[in-house]
Structure 1
Amino acid sequence: MLSRLFAFMPGLNTLFNYERKWFADDVKAALSVAAVALPVAIAYAQLTGVNAAVGLYSCILPMMVYALFGTSKQLIVGPDAATCAVIAAVVTPLAAGDSVKHWQLVITMTAMTGFWCIIASRFKLGVLADFLSKPILMGLLNGVAITIIVGQFSKVFGFTFDEKYLLERLGGIPTYLAQAHIPTIIMTLSTVAIYLGMKRIKPTWPASMFAIALGAVFVWLFNLEQFDVKTIGLVDGGLPLFQTPSFDVGIIRELVIPALNLAIVSFVSMMLTARSFASKNGYDIDADKEFMALGIANITSALSQGFAVSGADSRTAVNDSNGGKTQLVSIIAASIIAVIAIFLTDPLEFIPSAALGVVLIIASIHLLDLKAVWKLRLRDRQAFYLTLTTLLAVLFIGVIPGITLAVLLGLFQFIRTVMRPTDHILGVDINGVVRTLDSSDKAKSVDSIFIYRFNSPLTYFNSSYFKRRLLEQYARQKDDIQCVIIDAVPCFTHLDLSVMAMLSDLNTIFRKRGVRLEIAGRKRQLLAWFEITDIKSGTEGIYVHSDLYLALRINQRKIAEQQHSEEESEEESEEESEEESTHNNAITAE
């Protein structure tokens, strides 16, 4: 019974087997994580368009839930820049300026995102962690980072954007800068100075928290609100009260696909962080259980009136750098944030919006890595174009369409790889090991035998390409080919009637040319498929062997026997010719 519970809640297993020596490191890490998470949560609440308390609620129960259901010991979940930017882009036009409706739509989209994650976990779709390739994710995160940075210009310079899209905002910046609010700019510069000063004097301390806290102190001491320095205003703290949505249910249709996109992007981003820290600390994580943990964390966030969460790479790095050993870090940090959210929210109303804008810009700059994008141009031109396409899509057509395009690009990239994979002609090296024939000349082709490998599962949409490539490669060989061997292991992975029909056609073509078609590997599976699809095997059809080496040995023996038989026939023919010549000479002599 306990083992089942541990399998369902992996974090509980760690806590049950907790070692006392870990506690000091976990407490130290938890204090650091809470110090970093507090200002970021408030800033991301502003980005999402909801009350600061909602950002705090998004850190409390989700962190505790992930500590129980997640398989990563270091990962910290919480509000994320990309996640909040996506939610704001979807919900803002639907809310049409109604703050209550906006908040309820945020919660609803969060719950739907969690629902999609749980569905994906039930169907064992943890493989989606590899769905969005690194180049696509790079383009996506860079595009989101630039979008957030430009969006925060209004807060740090004290004006309001009238335009909705990035390009229009960039075009209007010279006009907006002429409207800049001097006291707000002074607050912005002060926040930047405090942040940079803290980073220089105490690099390990939470500079963002100190910058925001001192900004709030300045507002309170000098009553800067009289100079129109905007603050986040009243923060409704206390325990979150569950409220059912009161908007038109039909709007939910508008959230279904964006929530699905958000679930995929959040999961992929989280897995990149979780895997990197798991590898660093020498353990493995379960992708399907991570999907489940992310889903439960998001649903819990929605029920506690929070918004969508994902893996927070910056807070995870803080946890790891401060020696955090277990999931207890998340529980302690969440408890600290809970105390502040419930009892100590009054001072938060003095936090200046400009300071939060600075924090968001700094967080987005950490997401920004245009140098890595440019390096792709030299290392992998195709990956560079893929990254650039995703980046420009996010910038030009918006975050949600850009994410949708990124997901589609990932799908098309996979389909293209499956439809048009690489293929190889195989040979044998001096040790008898089967290798790919290439320019290194380490392997040589086998006399009279053509060995072909197709590096993708065969299915109905690439079977014709397989047939064409095999015949093209065969046509480049010498005319003495007696046997064509297909390596079945990488390509015959499942039964497909189109593939079986194509295979039968190939056999007919080669038989007309006097060439044997043989398949090496997956013998039992292929013979069963042949029986289902009425394809003959053996001497009357296609030969199937257990593995490639056995197929080679049998065919080399057949060819050797055939050559030996041909040599004997030639010798007999020569002897008969000599006898006939002697006989003819004798007759001539007579």
Structure 2
Amino acid sequence: MKPAAPAPHRLPHLPFLQGLLPFDPAQLPHDIIAGITLAALGIPEVMGYTKIAGTPTVTGLYTILLPLVAFTLFGASRQLVVAADSATAAILAGTLTAVAAAGSKDYVALTSSVALTVAVMLLIARVFRLGFLADFLSRSALIGFLTGVGIQVAAGELAGLIGLARQGHGPLMQVASALQRVAEANYPTTMLSIGVLVVIVGCKRFVPRAPGALIAVIGSIVASGVFNFAGHGIAVTGEVPGGLPSLFLPPLHMGAINQVLVTAASCFIVIIAQSAATARAYANRYNERGDDNADIIGLAAANAAAAFTGTFVVNGSPTKTEMLDDAGGRTQVAHLTTAAIVLLVLLFLTKPLSLLPAAVLSAIVFMIGVKLIDVKGMAELYRMQKDELVVALLTAGVVVFVDVMHGILAAVVLSLIAHARHSYRLRTRVLTPGPGDSWIARHVEPNLLAAPGIVVYRFEADLFYANTGRFTEEVLKLVTEASPGLRWVVIDASEINNIDYTAGKTLIQLGGELDKHGVGIAAVALPTGVRHEIERYKALRMTGVHREVFATVEAAIEALRELPPPTSSSSQGGSFESNKE
């Protein structure tokens, strides 16, 4: 994990430029270099994604022009790179080819219509403040998610490293296919890939500040032109049309509207979750505070910009975000630099770009995938929290063996399960007197008294439907297994911040059950906690029931020390009533 950077001071009154401000002059050179590096690495990568999406090569360049600028203006993340992404590109190809031929004019128009529809969906999501959905992604799930994406990306580039076409569905099939065809490898391409990997790894190892990938890209383009790589069997990118994209409103195809909506909905799910997962992962890395709802606005603006410039859906990209982060980029200045470089390329440099060997792109993307595999994070989970390691491994497994979208859903579901598990397996204690005025928290066992005839039971979690059974079981065990003479059970609710309806009804039933045993029940609750909720349930109590609510354990002990409990004939049920302060 990278060393944490101090969280920059945000300007909450500004609805835009949150990823850019405050401006740090000392960081400017690093952001500019990172932006140039991202352009050098991202340009060939997004061109490769057009092959997945089934659109013209130049549309890949359009995804890192105006969409990058739009997210810089309206997004909040200082690291997230919004551009073409393999997951959404695959969704487009898998759904829109049912209504139009890939690469055709109609197909390209449909991809732009999908981008505009996604933008509208994201705006609706912002209205309903659905950014909170990212709260249900635990850090362990994020580690697993990015690891799974890294494995998926790296596996997909193995064939390209040796000059073969990618075959097979999913990482395992792609690896198996590449290994089965290794005898057919193109040796010049393989040697070039090895050379690029050596340059990248060597710079990282011996000259960490040197942009190894950028050096590899420039060097390979020069070598390709000088030694005619294409004539020696080494595949190159090929002709890339230049010029700026035209601005237009995507046409509405009524005959394909259902397919557009289904495709947009699928992309929307991936975008809102993957972008949040990636932004949060990098915000956590640098101890920064993100704004998921502002990022949704930024993503909506970026997809609208993509739609109006004739390209396809853009998404928060884990690979390009890692590219930028690895090159030292820390703010959206780097993104603006990348957009400026792309503008220059479109105007003047598409011819040199056509000489770039395809193997160089495969090597760069392969290394990015390897870096996304968070071995250190997994090892730390193994040492510190093995149950959360299971969450990370399961999330990574779903991404690798199924797909990214289901991996994201798995991350959310597993995070919710982990939360429910921790809430259910809560810590409960019985308090006994300690030295001076202190209290000693002990494991729950009968006959551990706070004072003669009084037991204090502390419940250290919110009381809700899933754990009321544990609550009732332990309180009744303290009563039924106690030696004669137990008169009061004091529930220390000072650590409880919420009581739901099921729990409130349980308190009523428990009060009646303890009455039958001749044991009274009282509570310790704070005004800032659940005191008002306990008092609200007095409306449900049976007539004549006497309950106490105290501000401290000491106050409860002092008041109840000589007070006899209610008799079993007083009531068959009840709740707490606030009589003591």
TM-score by length of 1: 0.78
How many positions carry a matched residue from both structures?
Answer: 536
Task: Please tell me whether residue 535 in structure 1 is matched to residue 541 in structure 2.
Answer: yes
Contact 1:44-1:360 at 8 Å conserved across structures:
no
Contact 2:454-2:488 at 8 Å conserved across structures:
yes
1:235 aligned residue: 240
- For residues 327-476 of structure 1, what are the structure 2 equivalents within 5 Å? 327-370=332-375, 372-434=377-439, 436-437=441-442, 445-472=450-477, 474-475=479-480
SS in structure 1 at match of 2:18: helix
Cα distance between partner residues in 1 of 2:542 and 2:283: 50
1:515 aligned residue: 519
After superposition, the C-alpha distances for 1:528-582 in whole angstroms (9 at most, x for unaligned) are 5225x52259x7243223x3x1x5324334314679xxxxxxxxxxxxxxxxxxx
1:7 aligned residue: 14
Instruction: Give how far 1:518 is off.
Output: 1.8
Instruction: Give how far 1:225 is off.
Output: 1.9
Task: Please tell me whether residue 271 in structure 1 is matched to residue 285 in structure 2.
Answer: no
Instruction: Give how far 1:43 is off.
Output: 1.3
Cα distance between partner residues in 2 of 1:87 and 1:13: 26
Task: Mark the CA change 1:286 to 1:344 in structure 2 (over 3 Å): closer, same or farther.
Answer: same
Give the counterpart letter for 1:484 in structure 2.
V
TM-score by length of 2: 0.79
1:35 aligned residue: 37
2:568 aligned residue: none
- For residues 215-364 of structure 1, what are the structure 2 equivalents within 5 Å? 215-241=220-246, 242=248, 243-244=250-251, 248-251=256-259, 252-257=261-266, 259-279=268-288, 284-304=289-309, 305=311, 307-310=314-317, 313-315=321-323, 317=325, 321=328, 327-364=332-369
Cα distance between partner residues in 1 of 2:206 and 2:137: 39
Instruction: Give how far 1:270 is off.
Output: 0.5
Instruction: Give how far 1:186 is off.
Output: 3.0
Cα distance between partner residues in 1 of 2:548 and 2:411: 44
Instruction: Give how far 1:364 is off.
Output: 0.7
Task: Mark the CA change 1:111 to 1:373 in structure 2 (over 3 Å): closer, same or farther.
Answer: farther
Cα distance between partner residues in 1 of 2:238 and 2:119: 30
Task: Mark the CA change 1:258 to 1:334 in structure 2 (over 3 Å): closer, same or farther.
Answer: closer
Contact 2:189-2:234 at 8 Å conserved across structures:
yes
1:99 aligned residue: 103
Contact 2:322-2:372 at 8 Å conserved across structures:
no
Cα distance between partner residues in 2 of 1:401 and 1:408: 10
SS in structure 2 at match of 1:11: coil
Task: Mark the CA change 1:430 to 1:476 in structure 2 (over 3 Å): closer, same or farther.
Answer: farther
Cα distance between partner residues in 1 of 2:287 and 2:235: 42
1:584 aligned residue: none
After superposition, the C-alpha distances for 1:213-232 in whole angstroms (9 at most, x for unaligned) are 22222222333223342222
Contact 2:395-2:411 at 8 Å conserved across structures:
yes
Task: Mark the CA change 1:400 to 1:543 in structure 2 (over 3 Å): closer, same or farther.
Answer: same
2:533 aligned residue: 526
After superposition, the C-alpha distances for 1:14-57 in whole angstroms (9 at most, x for unaligned) are 47xx6xxx547425522332223431343144146255544443
How well do the aligned residues superpose, as a CA RMSD in angstroms?
3.7
Cα distance between partner residues in 1 of 2:180 and 2:530: 73
Cα distance between partner residues in 2 of 1:408 and 1:133: 10
Give the counterpart letter for 2:257 in structure 1.
V
After superposition, the C-alpha distances for 1:476-512 in whole angstroms (9 at most, x for unaligned) are 5554432222233444525x43322221110100111
SS in structure 1 at match of 2:486: coil
Cα distance between partner residues in 1 of 2:171 and 2:295: 34
Match of 1:185 among 169, 185, 190: 190
1:26 aligned residue: 28
> What is the identity percentage for the equivalent residue pairs of Structure 1 and Structure 2?
21
Instruction: Give how far 1:362 is off.
Output: 0.8
5+ unaligned residues in a row in structure 2: which ranges? 1-9, 566-581
SS in structure 2 at match of 1:544: strand
- For residues 37-56 of structure 1, what are the structure 2 equivalents within 5 Å? 37-47=39-49, 49-50=52-53, 51=56, 53-56=58-61
SS in structure 2 at match of 1:424: strand
Task: Mark the CA change 1:205 to 1:4 in structure 2 (over 3 Å): closer, same or farther.
Answer: closer
Match of 2:155 among 147, 150, 153: 150
Contact 2:453-2:485 at 8 Å conserved across structures:
yes
Contact 1:136-1:406 at 8 Å conserved across structures:
yes
Give the counterpart letter for 1:190 in structure 2.
G
Contact 1:188-1:358 at 8 Å conserved across structures:
yes
Instruction: Give how far 1:208 is off.
Output: 1.3
Contact 1:215-1:351 at 8 Å conserved across structures:
yes
Greater helix content: 1
SS in structure 2 at match of 1:505: helix
1:499 aligned residue: 503
Cα distance between partner residues in 2 of 1:106 and 1:485: 64
SS in structure 1 at match of 2:342: helix
Cα distance between partner residues in 2 of 1:226 and 1:187: 15
Task: Mark the CA change 1:478 to 1:141 in structure 2 (over 3 Å): closer, same or farther.
Answer: farther
Task: Mark the CA change 1:364 to 1:542 in structure 2 (over 3 Å): closer, same or farther.
Answer: same
2:214 aligned residue: 209
Task: Mark the CA change 1:195 to 1:106 in structure 2 (over 3 Å): closer, same or farther.
Answer: farther
Contact 2:113-2:307 at 8 Å conserved across structures:
yes
Task: Mark the CA change 1:258 to 1:382 in structure 2 (over 3 Å): closer, same or farther.
Answer: farther
Task: Please tell me whether residue 481 in structure 1 is matched to residue 486 in structure 2.
Answer: yes
- For residues 16-165 of structure 1, what are the structure 2 equivalents within 5 Å? 22-23=24-25, 25-27=27-29, 29-47=31-49, 49-50=52-53, 51=56, 53-71=58-76, 74-79=78-83, 84-96=85-97, 98-100=102-104, 118-165=123-170
Cα distance between partner residues in 1 of 2:28 and 2:183: 49
Contact 1:43-1:52 at 8 Å conserved across structures:
no
Contact 1:454-1:491 at 8 Å conserved across structures:
yes
Cα distance between partner residues in 2 of 1:267 and 1:438: 40
Runs of 4+ in 1 over 6 A off after TM superposition: none
Task: Mark the CA change 1:123 to 1:32 in structure 2 (over 3 Å): closer, same or farther.
Answer: same
SS in structure 2 at match of 1:59: coil
- Please say which structure displays the higher CA radius of gyration: 1
Give the counterpart letter for 2:408 in structure 1.
I
Cα distance between partner residues in 2 of 1:455 and 1:296: 44
Cα distance between partner residues in 1 of 2:495 and 2:385: 25
Instruction: Give how far 1:408 is off.
Output: 2.0
Deviates more, 1:409-418 or 1:506-515: 409-418
Task: Mark the CA change 1:502 to 1:92 in structure 2 (over 3 Å): closer, same or farther.
Answer: same
SS in structure 2 at match of 1:467: helix
Cα distance between partner residues in 1 of 2:303 and 2:504: 45
1:566 aligned residue: none
SS in structure 2 at match of 1:168: helix
